[in-house]
Amino acid sequence: MIIAIDGPAASGKSTIGRMLAEALGYLFLDTGFMYRAVTLAALQDGVDLAEETAVAQLARRLQIDVAVVGEVADGRHYTALLNGKDVTWALRTPEVDANVSLVSSYLSVREDLVRRQREFGRRGNIVMVGRDIGTVVLPNAPLKLYIIASAEERARRRWLDRQNQGHGNDYDSILADVVRRDQFDGSREHSPMRPAADAVIIDTTGRPVEEIVAEILGRTSNQ
């Protein structure tokens, strides 16, 4: 069984995906971390982010993995590894946020990462979350969800996350970034963010996450 979840930033898709994976005993893969890992590596190595070929060459050399949380109890839900190094929090900085859309718009980067994501998919029993999982990565997934919420609610959630991580920040600039990133991700040439024709669209605005998860679990028992 495979559950494909897509939707804009901070729509609640990762929280919902994680809760579903836990309830069903499935593997959880948040594919956004891979695009973030390539972005971080390019920033660290001083690769010009405007140069698709250079970014894609770097991406191909990277070892990108996830590990279970283990000993670290700092609010993380999984540990992201870049060339064996723990980069979980480094992937969440405003600098990565500001550049990840550009990196994820490159076809050659997408082809590399989609291939890696499909390898995870072959293990079966997985909840995979991203922007193009139902449309491109796993188009045959039997259950596809597209999770949305109003831009204001999504910005409020991002703002809270940042507060909890100890970063001071300003709601208006987060809202502007959320709107900018969605427009960019939804209008890019390759694999734009959009619901698959057979996706179930779920609006999480003002709804408790537990209620939504219970509703989806009801659907999985009907599959």
Instruction: Name the minimum Å distance from CB 176 to ligand DC.
Output: 15
Nearest to ligand DC of 76, 214 (CB atom): 76
- 27: tokens are 């593997």
Strand 126-130 relative to strand 2-6, pairing: parallel
State the nearest-atom distance from the C-beta of 221 to ligand DC, in Å.
27
When the beta carbons of 87 and 218 are compared against ligand DC, the nearer one is 87
- Between 88 and 101, CB nearer to ligand DC: 101
CB of 129 to ligand DC, least distance (A): 7
From the CB of 89, what's the least distance to ligand DC, in Å?
Answer: 13
DSSP H or E segment with residue 97: helix 94-104
As measured in angstroms, the least distance from the Cβ of 163 to ligand DC is 18
CB-count burial class (<10 Å; 0-12, 13-18, 19+) for 61? exposed
What residue ranges bind ligand DC (CB under 6 A)?
A: 9, 31-32, 35-36, 100-101, 104, 130-133, 181, 185
- Identity of the residue, 47 or 193, whose beta carbon is nearer to ligand DC in the bound complex: 193
- Which value, in Å, is the radius of gyration of the alpha carbons in the chain? 17
Residue 10's DSSP bridge partners are: none
CB 187 to ligand DC: min, Å: 12
| Sequence-distant (≥ 6) Cβ neighbours of residue 117 within 8 angstroms | 29, 31, 34, 128, 130, 133, 137, 138
d(Cα 123, Cα 137) in Å, to the nearest integer?
Answer: 14
Question: Is the Cβ of residue 26 or residue 154 nearer to ligand DC in the bound state?
Answer: 154
For the chain, give the number of residues.
223
Cβ contacts of 64 within 8 Å, gap of 6 or more:
33, 34, 37, 38, 80, 81, 82, 116
Question: Which of 64/133 has CB closer to ligand DC?
Answer: 133
